[in-house]
Amino acid sequence: MTSGVLIVESRPASPEEAAAYHDWYDNTHLPEILKVEGFVSARRLESLDGDTFLVIYEIDGDVETAKAALGQAQASGTMSRPQGVELTPPPIVRYFRYLGPAS
């Protein structure tokens, strides 16, 4: 069972950059994050209006430890730079902890 999630909401910088955005996410960014200690799976979702995308990364283990490991990986310069991602405003990034059994 996962102990938490990282949720990231983002969008392509423009319709012309949508293909680069999806290619970078699917073929570069997701594999890079899933190599980081604590991150065990990822799911991408598209809003019904098709202009916003959500990624749910499942975390196994301590959420704060996984968050720190991702920060270190990003700071090390080994992770790729975003391709085609709208950065103004920046993506919305939020971590959540699992609270208890499902009802």
Q: What percentage of the chain exceeds 90 in pLDDT?
A: 85
Structural domains in the chain (count) = 1
pTM (2 d.p.): 0.90
CA distances from 65 to 14, 69, 70, 82 (A): 34, 6, 9, 23
Higher pLDDT, 38 or 78: 38
Write down the pLDDT at residue 78.
85
- Within-domain flag for 102: no
Give me the domain span that covers residue 92. 4-97
- The rounded distance, in Å, linking the Cα atoms of 76 and 36 is 12
- Within-domain flag for 103: no
Look up the CATH number of the domain holding residue 69: 3.30.70.100
- Within-domain flag for 26: yes
